Amino acid sequence: MFLMRRAVLLPLTWTNSCRTFCVSKSLQMERKGLVLGVFEKKEKEGSLHLTEAAEGFDRKVSGKLSELLKISGPSLKKGKSRVFYGVHKDFPCVAVVGLDEVTAGVCGAENWDCAKENIRAAVSAGCRVLQDLDVNHVEVDGCGDPQAAAEGALLGLFQYDQLKSKKKPKVTVQPHASAELTAWEKGVLYAEGQNLARLLMEAPANHITPTAFAKTIEERLAQYGDRVLVHKRSQAWIEEQGMGAFLSVSKGSEEPPVFLELHYNGSPDSAQAPLLLVGKGITFDSGGISLKPSASMDMMRADMGGAATVCSTVVTAAALKLPVNIIGLAPLCENMPSGKATKPGDVVTAKNGKTIQVDNTDAEGRLILADALCYAHTFNPKAVVNVATLTGAMDVALGSAATGVFTNSDWLWEQLHKASIVTGDRVWRMPLFQHYTRQVTDSQLADLNNIGKYSRSGGACTAAAFLREFVTSPHWAHLDIAGVMSNKDEIPYLKKGMSGRPTRTLVEFAAALAHNK
């Protein structure tokens, strides 16, 4: 039965008690909702422009939706939402979300596609509101870009509550009306890839050890059969490879290290040079003997964010059946203090024979990546991209706005930049001057120093310069993701917690590489 008009309208600024009062028990039992979009038309204050799906729904309900929108107050701003009840018998709850102007597109100043970002944010807001109303199935308006809508829905609904006794209801989503299914399903896979990275990064370090991390990824890839090969390399193998830098970090922990090696063979040409992705996999970083302050040390369970995003990219590439060969490498270990741990001033030898003076054991990520990068080159890759929560200096420089990219290749930078505009998960190029190289090669005891001559100045840049000493590929990029590791409220379609960034950008980059040879 259609309720009285004033009772039907429930602006989201009302209290929870008022909202609960207005939703009947029968509506709660249905637990089915719909998210529809409406564009903001700034040239005419208060005017409405419904999306195609919203217009179709409005016709079904004899114009009730547009009538309710007109009487509900000021025009709906982008990213905001309103919920209406009893409008249609199949959808007890309908969330209408505000989109930007119809003409919104790529913005050079922001370095992203405004239309896609607005859709992600708006759809996410609508889905979350319905989730709070205990809705367990939501149909989503494609809003003109079903991929972006699917990403917004699934990214917005993600929550890590695996270890809680009381959980929020799980919400299933599907496209509404005539949304293009291929684009929608692509968006689902992109979002699920990022959510896998978030799941790994959010989990406590005693649940995601190096061994558990490798097992989780192996299980996710098992369904793809012969197209995927997984090697979980043991400590004995790591020692045989002469990876002294990696071993110097792992030796302080009781947890054994694992070198995870993933091969996705998606190209019909088996001889095609692979894309090499390398991710830092410190499953917990105490700082080692150079112990971190206790405040916020719990966040260091996500110091394997590089490995999480790289491995999730491989999983997503397999799910998308991308016609490209990808090899993912993840050196996994803990960085812990103990009687066996590396001490400041120790000298270790990397796989390529270079010696490293370890003056700060908390600069450990570059050590494990050094050996992984040496190993990566044995596959004669088309390009090498490493990803790491490497330096607090990157967080200081860019914050959560973008991933810092250091690269020796203009071509590779252009490909990553184009991908980030599509995904909205931005990248920003940083310098690789010889100025920084001189600071890491000026070492008293060895070929290199792991913190550089001036440890506080240009820390992200000297870390990148250090990694460059282990690179021979003409197409290499280092992505420092320390600033984008977590989300507070900066990205509206990601809840507070670990972000899983920039998984979608890596997937989009790999997809473009596959289809634009």
Cis peptide before 502, with omega less than 30 degrees from 0?
A: yes
- Would the CA dihedral through 301, 306, 309, 310 be positive or negative? negative
Q: Give Cα 38 distance to the centre of its chain.
A: 28
Q: What is the CA radius of gyration of the chain?
A: 25
Catalytic positions: 292, 366
> What are the φ and ψ backbone dihedral angles of 500, each rounded to 5 degrees?
70, 15
Q: Who contacts 20 (Cβ-Cβ below 8 Å, separation ≥6)?
A: none
Do 368 and 244 form a contact (C-beta atoms < 8 A)?
no
Hey, which residues does 448 pair with through a beta bridge? 356
Query: How many Å apart are CA 164 and CA 308, to the nearest integer?
Result: 22
Q: What would the DSSP string read from start to end of 381-422?
A: -SEEEEEE---HHHHHHHTTS-EEEEES-HHHHHHHHHHHHH
Do 277 and 316 form a contact (C-beta atoms < 8 A)?
no
SS (H, E, C) 283-326: EEECCCCCCCCCCCHHHHHHCCHHHHHHHHHHHHHHHHCCCCEE
51 vs 90, 180, 188, CA distance in Å?
20, 14, 21
Query: How many Å apart are CA 385 and CA 278, to the nearest integer?
Result: 6
Nearest to 263 by CA among 326, 193, 331, 332: 326
Q: Sort 31 into a burial class: Cβ within 10 Å, 0-12 / 13-18 / 19+.
A: middle
Query: How many Å apart are CA 324 and CA 262, to the nearest integer?
Result: 14
Hey, which residues does 285 pair with through a beta bridge? 335
Measured in Å, how far apart are the chain's first and last C-alpha atoms?
58
